[in-house]
């Protein structure tokens, strides 16, 4: 009813409410310390830091939300003024919340309770002008809201291109800084990048469809060449990544190990629908088996020490066995019970590994050290850059196995169980065998990951195998998209790689995980790169309505 | 003949019963060995037992939150452990202020009352907000979805507290009146333990009466039985669900202060173990069953305090107290394998069929 709407007066309560909600979010970010911690990392050298960029994002999102909720018709000239005002009011309210914090903080020492409410934070929030800056803060919030409103009036395609480019620049700046330490974006560089990105995003759809058309018109042999060339390009990029330095390689190694685990858990949770929160247990068993067999510290199995490669099959085998053994008792359980019991298993393994009881065998709280690195033909994979190739090989192997299994008879049986156990059984699927195979396969991948992990860090301690590892793995497959193999890779990059780059965020990593899990479940339960079938299932109800 | 028998008794069942009997045997053997060695005096057993009751009361209070929410929504509120943590955490700052004002030592009952009230309010608020923001939109979603949301909410809350208030242990201020022991029936018992036991029992009794005899309590039972049918009978289901979360939160907040009285400290991740153990208690008693949660909590508290010394010591395991936390998990796994309905869980079992 845009016609009626344009007759009514400006509705103050909605943008004020939305703005205050955004203000609470901004306050939380500030008081938790995210803003100040990320202030040290520049997005554009000397112009804007990541902390400021984050605050800006909160502002923009709040204004957009307020304008969207008000539901102004964009085409109508008569409502344009109100649309701008709506954005301005929302932006102002965010500023008001932050200004209140600064003013209160100047009178009362908030630091006794909120440890991150430091003068530096106030200095940052008031644009470096301290108490006098409160006015500047309020003004800029209002103006920013109006600018957002004005952008909202632009044609949808242009607006989206600008938003994409603006959102991508902080991300690219962070990646650039991580892979090329010491380097950062300059203002002209960032402007050029902005133009290129927004142009690319503006015409991106056209270009893509054009390329698709061209490829489709090629003869079959040409199409194959095109596909191979594309894959070769991707492979080359993946292989060249660790040459940028030792620190990025370390990060990539970790991402790779999580991809391996994610692929395994994806079989258990994504394919078979068995929520396993004790997945770290198999990782631990793989790592400990590797350590016990190869470290010269452990003598109770005899004097002969195996090499990495000789011990690897045993590690995987032990993890697989553990998967079956832990799988048997939980066969009859479903859903949330299964989740809690597997969580219990994971914790039991860690507590037992930590206790003095098994100390003579696996080192107790002292862990096991001096685990040898893998050697291939006299070439020791000593650096993270070299280990990277081993991990990539492992990931590739696991991804191929997972992809082949997914469309096999077994994979279809897993998905049938996920959808409805009773019906699956009625259709002649052997529940015991199918479920145990899911646990065993998942455990094998995790064991492999654990074995490589042990060789990578050369010393393992029980606290490396915390419940958090399970939660991280679960988080990455959920964010990526349950049941989707590319989703696991994207999820690991986003949830393991990114926090590894943003080291100042390490304290907030799990906070971000938590938000990501809740957000994904509320807004996009199928994940970022969803599996086609799952997407259909999750949106079945909406389609029916 | 043998074939018919095999068809009647599946292999997994036989294996599981063998495991069960083996475990009982080990427990029995360990107990006998410990008792025969006479390593501990009877006074020590009494101490452990009383401590177990205090601990059990806390577990029972938290377990009620799990069990009531499970009753009405059929979901495990994984974030309940953070609801439990948040109350005493904010309560700590209030207690600190009261202590500085001298109120906590001059009027200990009033001071402690204020702290408990604040903690209950905070926990209730967080529990209600959780329901509103994270769970309500997902009420019709597949079962795994709200569980994953709950895990996310749990991490969010716990690490938001870390970010806001820091990662250090915060020592609760001492209350002079609660130092030392009182003599109960000839046994010297630490004062905080008595306070915790009495307060927990009063609260448990109050909740029991509330659920059984008030209109709201009966409405809760009706919603737990059948949501749609309850709605047809004129019960506002959304309101009852909010009330359920609120009561669970209030009890958890109180339990948190009791926990802080026993252990004299709070930390952002203090909720995890009590939370998981309270959940175990709820399952032990039969999830969805209010009385069961109380019985299960008491049982787990006592078992956990006696078990390491009573059984593991006899088996010759060094430093058995290190394995204390593993007991709850082991019990949980065993109960779910051998009696998934819990000790008092007949009601739910019948409904599932």
Cβ distance of A478 and B148 shorter than 8 Å: yes
Question: Quick check: helix, strand or coil at residue A231?
Answer: helix
- Span of A23-32, A535-544, B163-172 with lowest mean pLDDT: A535-544
In this complex, do A517 and B151 lie within 8 Å of one another by their Cβ atoms? yes
- Indicate yes or no: CB of A521 within 8 angstroms of CB of B149: yes
Q: How far is A383 from chain B (nearest CA, A)?
A: 34
Q: Which helix (H) or strand (E) segment is A462 a member of?
A: none
Q: For position A82, what pLDDT does the model report?
A: 83
Contact A432 B137 (CB under 8 A): no
* Burial zone of B317 (CB within 10 Å; 0-12 exposed, 13-18 middle, 19+ buried): middle
A42: phi then psi, degrees, rounded to nearest 5: -80, 145
Q: Is the pLDDT of residue A5 over 60?
A: no
* Nearest residue of A to residue B321, measured between CA atoms: A355
User: Of B176, B179, B205, which Cα lies nearest the Cα of B192?
Assistant: B179
Backbone torsions φ then ψ of A309, nearest 5 degrees: -70, -35
User: Would the pLDDT of A201 be above 80?
Assistant: yes
Nearest to B163 among A32, A113, A333 (CB): A32
Predicted local confidence at residue B5, as pLDDT? 60
Question: Of the ranges A162-171, B14-23, B114-123, B209-218, which one carries the lowest mean pLDDT score?
Answer: B14-23
Between the CA of residue B337 and those of A268, B75, B88, B135, B294, what are the distances in Å?
20, 20, 35, 29, 21
Number of neighbouring beta carbons within 10 Å of residue B219 = 20
Answer whether A357 sits within 8 Å of B140, measured CB to CB: no
Mutation target for B interface from A280, A507, A517: give the one with most B CBs within 10 A: A517
A514 at interface of B, judged by CB pairs closer than 8 A? yes
* pLDDT of res. B323: 79
Taking the CA atoms of residue A474, residue A475, residue A478 and residue A479 in that order, the dihedral angle to the nearest 10 degrees is -160
A144/A142 Cα distance (integer angstroms): 5
CA pseudo-torsion sign A36, B150, A470, A391:
negative
- In degrees, to the nearest 5, what angle opens at C-alpha A492 toward C-alphas A487 and A496? 155
- Say yes or no for a CB contact (<8 Å) between A335 and B145: no
User: Looking at CA atoms only, how far is residue B45 from chain A in angstroms?
Assistant: 23
| A348, A355, A519 member nearest B322 (Cβ) | A355
Interface test with A, best of B152, B311, B312 (most A CBs within 10 A): B152
Which of A83-97, B42-56, B109-123 ranks highest by mean pLDDT? B109-123
- CA of B255 to nearest chain A CA: how many angstroms apart? 22
| pLDDT for residue A376 is more than 80 | yes
A236, A371 Cβ separation under 8 angstroms: no
CB contact under 8 A, A517 and B160: no
CA–CA dist A439, A278 (Å, integer): 11
Q: What is the pLDDT of residue B350?
A: 39
Average pLDDT over residues A301-321: 88
pLDDT at B349: 39
Contact B337 A329 (CB under 8 A): yes
Please report the pLDDT score of residue B12 as a whole number. Answer: 66
- Residue bearing the bigger pLDDT, B80 or A220: B80
Could you tell me which chain B residue has the CA closest to the CA of A332? B337
pLDDT of residue B7: 63
CA distance A374 to A308: 5
**Distance (Å, rounded) from C-alpha A18 to C-alpha A29?**
17
pLDDT in tens, A464-487: 888 888 988 988 888 888 888 889
Q: Which of B155, B165, B323 sits opposite A514 (nearest CB)?
A: B155
Q: Which positions in chain B touch A275 (Cβ < 8 Å)?
A: 144, 147-148
Question: Chain A within 8 Å of B318 (Cβ-Cβ)?
Answer: yes
- Report d(CA B322, CA B168) in Å as an integer: 23
- Summarised one tens digit per residue, pLDDT across range A394-433 is 999 999 999 999 889 999 999 999 888 889 989 988 888 9
- The CA R_g of chain B, rounded to the nearest whole Å, is 22
A354 in B contact zone (CB under 8 Å): yes
Place of tokens 């009966």: B218
Q: In this structure, what token pair is assigned to residue B127? A: 């529990």
Task: Yes or no: say if B10 and A328 are a contact pair by the CB < 8 Å rule.
Answer: no
CB–CB contacts below 8 A, A to B: 157
Does the structure show a pLDDT above 80 at A234? yes
C-alpha distance across the termini of chain A, in Å: 23
Q: For residue B128, which of B216, B247, B279 has the smallest C-alpha distance?
A: B247
Q: Which two tokens stand for residue A232?
A: 């070769």
Distances (CA, A) of B150 to A1, B53, B69: 39, 29, 12
Instruction: Give the Cα separation of B254 and B273 in Å (integer).
Output: 17
Would an 8 Å CB–CB cutoff place B149 in contact with chain A? yes
Average pLDDT of B345-352? 46
- Do A279 and A446 meet the contact criterion of CB atoms below 8 Å apart? yes
| pLDDT tens digit sequence for A123-174 | 888 877 777 788 888 888 899 998 988 888 888 888 888 888 888 888 888 8
Is B144 at the interface with chain A, CB within 8 A?
yes
Question: Is B46-209+242-352 assigned to CATH 1.10.3470?
Answer: yes
Residue A1 has pLDDT above 50, yes or no: no
Residue A4, pLDDT above cutoff 60: no
Q: Which two tokens stand for residue A400?
A: 């191929």
Q: What is the mean pLDDT of chain B?
A: 85
Confidence (pLDDT) at A353 = 86
**What is d(CA A24, CA A18) in angstroms, rounded to the nearest whole number?**
10
Confidence label for A545 from pLDDT (cuts 50, 70 and 90): very low
How many C-beta neighbours within 10 Å does residue A374 have?
21
Q: Is residue B31 within 8 Å of residue B45, measured between CB atoms?
A: no
B276 versus A316: the higher-pLDDT residue is A316
Residue A175 has pLDDT above 50, yes or no: yes
**CB–CB of A517 and B149 under 8 A?**
yes
User: What is the number of alpha carbons within 13 Å of residue B133 lying toward its C-beta?
Assistant: 15
């Amino acid at each position: 009813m845009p016609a009626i709407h344009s007759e009514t007066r400006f509705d103050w309560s909605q943008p004020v409410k939305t703005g205050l909600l955004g203000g609470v979010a901004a306050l939380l970010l500030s008081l938790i310390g995210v803003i100040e911690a990320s202030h040290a990392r520049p997005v554009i050298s000397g112009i804007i830091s990541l902390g400021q960029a984050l605050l800006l994002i909160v502002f923009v999102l709040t204004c957009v939300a307020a304008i969207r909720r008000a539901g102004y018709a964009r085409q109508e000239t008569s409502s344009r003024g109100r649309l701008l005002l709506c954005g301005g009011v929302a932006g102002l309210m965010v500023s008001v919340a932050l200004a209140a914090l600064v003013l209160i903080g100047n009178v009362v020492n908030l630091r006794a309770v909120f440890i991150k409410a430091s003068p530096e934070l106030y200095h940052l929030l008031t644009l470096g002008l301290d108490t006098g800056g409160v006015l500047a803060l309020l003004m800029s919030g209002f103006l920013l809201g109006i600018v957002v409103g004005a952008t909202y009036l632009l044609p949808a395609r242009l607006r989206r291109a600008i938003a994409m480019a603006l959102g991508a620049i902080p991300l690219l700046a962070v990646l650039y800084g991580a892979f090329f330490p010491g380097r950062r974006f300059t203002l002209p560089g960032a402007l050029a990048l902005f133009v290129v990105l927004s142009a690319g995003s503006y015409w991106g759809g056209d270009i893509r469809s054009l390329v698709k058309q061209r490829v489709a018109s090629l003869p079959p042999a040409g199409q194959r060449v095109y596909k191979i060339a594309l894959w070769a390009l991707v492979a080359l990029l993946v292989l060249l990544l660790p040459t940028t330095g030792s620190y990025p390689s370390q990060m990539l190694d970790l991402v790779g190990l999580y991809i391996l685990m994610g692929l395994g858990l994806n079989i258990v949770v994504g394919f078979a629908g068995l929520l396993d929160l004790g997945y770290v247990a198999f990782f631990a068993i793989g790592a400990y088996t590797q350590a016990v067999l190869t470290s010269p510290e452990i003598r109770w199995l005899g004097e002969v020490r195996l090499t990495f490669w000789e011990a690897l099959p045993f590690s995987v085998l032990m993890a697989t066995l553990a998967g079956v053994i832990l799988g048997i008792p939980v066969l009859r359980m479903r859903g949330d019970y299964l989740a809690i019991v597997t969580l219990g298993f994971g914790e039991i393994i860690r507590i037992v590994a930590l206790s003095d009881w098994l100390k003579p065998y696996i080192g107790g709280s002292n862990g096991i050290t001096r685990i040898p690195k893998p050697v291939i033909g006299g070439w020791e994979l000593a650096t993270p850059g070299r280990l990277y190739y081993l991990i990539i090989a492992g990931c590739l192997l696991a991804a191929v196995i997972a992809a082949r299994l997914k469309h096999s008879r077994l994979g279809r049986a897993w998905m049938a169980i996920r959808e409805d156990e009773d019906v699956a059984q009625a259709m002649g699927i052997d529940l015991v065998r199918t479920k145990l195979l899911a646990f065993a396969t998942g455990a094998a991948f995790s064991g492999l990951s654990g074995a490589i992990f042990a060789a990578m860090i050369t010393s393992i301690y029980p606290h490396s195998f915390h419940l958090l590892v399970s939660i991280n793995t679960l988080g990455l497959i959920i964010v990526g998209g349950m049941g989707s193999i590319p989703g696991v890779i994207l999820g690991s990059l986003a949830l393991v790689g990114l926090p590894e780059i943003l080291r100042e965020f390490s304290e907030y990593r799990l906070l971000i995980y938590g938000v990501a899990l809740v957000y994904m479940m509320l807004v996009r339960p199928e994940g970022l790169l969803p599996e086609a079938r799952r997407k259909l299932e999750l949106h079945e109800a909406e389609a029916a309505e | 003949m043998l074939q018919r028998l095999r068809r009647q008794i599946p292999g997994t069942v036989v294996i599981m019963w063998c495991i069960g009997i083996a475990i009982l045997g080990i427990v029995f053997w360990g107990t006998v060995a410990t008792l025969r060695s006479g390593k501990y005096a009877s006074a020590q057993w009494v101490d452990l037992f009383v401590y177990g009751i205090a601990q059990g009361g806390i577990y029972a209070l938290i377990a009620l939150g799990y069990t009531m929410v499970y009753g009405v929504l059929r979901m495990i509120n994984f974030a309940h452990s953070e609801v439990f943590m948040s109350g005493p955490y904010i309560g700590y700052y209030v207690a600190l202020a009261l202590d500085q004002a001298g109120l906590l030592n001059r009027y200990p009952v009033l001071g402690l009352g204020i702290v408990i009230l604040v903690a209950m309010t905070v926990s209730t608020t967080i529990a209600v907000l959780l329901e509103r923001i994270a769970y309500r939109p997902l009420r019709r979603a597949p079962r795994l979805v709200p569980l994953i949301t709950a895990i996310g909410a749990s991490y969010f809350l716990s690490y938001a507290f870390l970010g806001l208030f820091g990662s250090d242990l915060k020592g609760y201020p001492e209350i002079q009146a609660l130092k030392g022991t009182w003599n109960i029936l000839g046994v010297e018992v630490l004062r905080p333990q008595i306070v915790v036991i009495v307060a927990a029992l009063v609260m448990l009794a109050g909740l029991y009466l509330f659920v059984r005899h008030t209109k709201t309590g009966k409405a809760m039972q009706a919603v737990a039985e059948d949501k749609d049918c309850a709605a047809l009978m004129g019960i506002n289901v959304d309101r009852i669900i909010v009330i359920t979360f609120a009561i669970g939160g209030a009890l958890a907040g109180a339990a948190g202060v009791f926990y802080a009285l026993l252990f004299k400290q709070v930390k952002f991740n203090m909720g995890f173990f009590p939370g998981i153990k309270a959940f175990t208690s709820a399952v032990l008693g039969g999830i969805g069953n209010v009385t069961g949660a109380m019985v299960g909590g008491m049982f787990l508290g006592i078992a956990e305090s006696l078990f390491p010394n009573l059984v593991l010591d006899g088996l010759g395991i060094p430093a058995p107290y290190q394995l204390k936390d593993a007991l709850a998990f082991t019990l949980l796994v065993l109960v779910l394998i051998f009696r998934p309905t819990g000790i008092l869980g007949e009601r739910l079992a019948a409904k599932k069929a």
